[in-house]
Structure 1
Amino acid sequence: MLDSLDTPLRLALVAEDPLARGALSRALSDQGGEGLTLAAAGTLAELESARTEPPDVVLWDVGLRLTGAEGRLEAPDLGAPVLALVPEEAAAELALGAGARGVLFRDAAPGALVAALRAVAQGLAVFEPTLSPVRVAPRASAPPTPPEALTPREREVLALLAEGLSNKAIADRLAISEHTAKFHVNAVLAKLGVQRRTEAVVRAARLGLVTL
């Protein structure tokens, strides 16, 4: 999570469409100047193999077509909050359900996009102003059940997940091997009953285990 608006922003851009990826990269680089470091790729796997530092925020262009017969989306999991660019309201709802922290339409102005990215990186939720409130309102659900108790080490790992650190960065911070860090991360996810790191942080915040 960024400390302030003046902190340099490490941005990961995931966009399958090469034309959209190129246009977004140019617009963000021009708008962000020296305060933004950008890594872009068409897929999550390509980005993970190319990046050297964990990002502060992920910009995810969902494209124009929804995946799967029923229309499903899966947010890229890089251990950082995700801002999704969507073509329509239906995709916005799916992106939020997939774990995105915020959504804007794909034609958002560069200045608004950079401001939204910084807000999401600081732990805020950002929504396209013209979206229907029904689309972005939290769905009613049963009170969350308390998770299985975390060990002291798992609580340390959870706190570092909330900072958006990768497994390698967690290992370096705790002076343990990356393999051990991954083991603890998986244990945290299992005890919180989630599959992705971003979901773990959100659930932990709701349970009062971390502060965003």
Structure 2
Amino acid sequence: MIRVIVVAASPVVRAGLSAVVSSNPQLTVVGSAADLDVLSKSVEQLQPDVVLLDLGSNPQPIWTKLQLISEQPIIAIAEDIDSIDLETAFRSGIRGILSTTSTETEIIAGVEAVASGLVVLHPDFLELLAMREKVVANAVQTLTPREIEVLGMLGSGLGNKAIAKRLQISEHTVKFHVSSIFQKLGVSTRTEAVTAGVRLGLIML
């Protein structure tokens, strides 16, 4: 028997998820909570095998709270899959991500898989990851050697004037390169561009 705790801010969602879990004879709901703060106090007593967590529309404030129950495998249901950073989610204890469009069968299968030590990702999330990988690959291929050089100087904290002087080109040309870098990496600030460059292995800090 897999012991499950259901966490959702909405009483309706909490009742619905509890009903889904209870419909399977292999699963049992040992508790529910509206908030992770409340849950952390009862986890030790209830000893769940899996925490079924509704992230709601904005998962960001939840990541830090998840550290409170980091010992428990968590399967999360997200309204907006696009907004989830997979690395942050896994670091916070998430072992499964489903969508609010997931069926009862998918939720039950997901809970069972996470309880068995597997990682579960909704097909929409896998599709999104594939698209992101394609964008990354394209960025690496299309960034010119000069743009990579400029990106490296951005990483060193140099301004447009200093970059222009070092490369012996005009400030206008530097601005053009920076704008092109932003567009190709899908970012809007220098910090984001440098972060993306490091992540892609284009530059080193």
TM-score (norm 2): 0.53
3-state SS of paired residue (1:46): helix
Query: Do residues 39 (structure 1) and 39 (structure 2) align?
Result: no
Instruction: Give the alignment partner of residue 46 of structure 2, picking from 46, 53, 56.
Output: 53
Counterpart contact for 1:11–1:59, Cα < 8 Å = yes
Give unmatched runs, 5+ long, in structure 1.
1-7, 138-212
Instruction: Give the alignment partner of residue 127 of structure 1, picking from 99, 107, 121.
Output: 121
Shift of 1:109: 1.1
Give the aligned partner of residue 71 of structure 2. Answer: 79
Residue identity opposite 2:53 in structure 1: W
Q: 1: distance between equivalents of 2:41 and 2:93?
A: 22
Instruction: Give the alignment partner of residue 118 of structure 1, picking from 112, 123, 130.
Output: 112
Counterpart contact for 2:2–2:28, Cα < 8 Å = yes
Shift of 1:45: 2.9
Q: 1: distance between equivalents of 2:63 and 2:83?
A: 8
Higher relative contact order (CA 8 A, sep 6+): 1
Q: 1: distance between equivalents of 2:83 and 2:2?
A: 26
3-state SS of paired residue (2:52): strand
3-state SS of paired residue (2:84): helix
Counterpart contact for 1:13–1:60, Cα < 8 Å = yes
Give the structure with higher Rg (CA): 2
Give unmatched runs, 5+ long, in structure 2.
134-205
Counterpart contact for 1:12–1:55, Cα < 8 Å = yes
Q: 2: distance between equivalents of 1:99 and 1:48?
A: 14
Instruction: Give the alignment partner of residue 7 of structure 2, picking from 11, 14, 28.
Output: 14
Percent of aligned positions that are identical = 26
Q: CA-to-partner distance for each residue in 1:93-128, whole Å, 9 max, x for gaps? A: 253453311101022111211111111111111000
Query: Do residues 65 (structure 1) and 68 (structure 2) align?
Result: no
CA spacing shift, 1:78–1:99, aligned 2, 3 Å:
closer
CA RMSD of aligned residues (A): 2.6
Q: CA-to-partner distance for each residue in 1:124-177, whole Å, 9 max, x for gaps? A: 11000122125898xxxxxxxxxxxxxxxxxxxxxxxxxxxxxxxxxxxxxxxx
Give the aligned partner of residue 23 of structure 1. Answer: 16
Give the aligned partner of residue 89 of structure 1. Answer: 81
CA spacing shift, 1:99–1:80, aligned 2, 3 Å:
closer
TM-score (norm 1): 0.51
Q: 2: distance between equivalents of 1:77 and 1:136?
A: 30
Give the aligned partner of residue 164 of structure 2. Answer: none
Q: Which has the higher helix share?
A: 2
Instruction: Give the alignment partner of residue 99 of structure 2, picking from 80, 105, 118.
Output: 105
Q: CA-to-partner distance for each residue in 1:19-61, whole Å, 9 max, x for gaps? A: 211211122212x236423311011232244453311111111
Give the aligned partner of residue 193 of structure 1. Answer: none
3-state SS of paired residue (1:12): strand
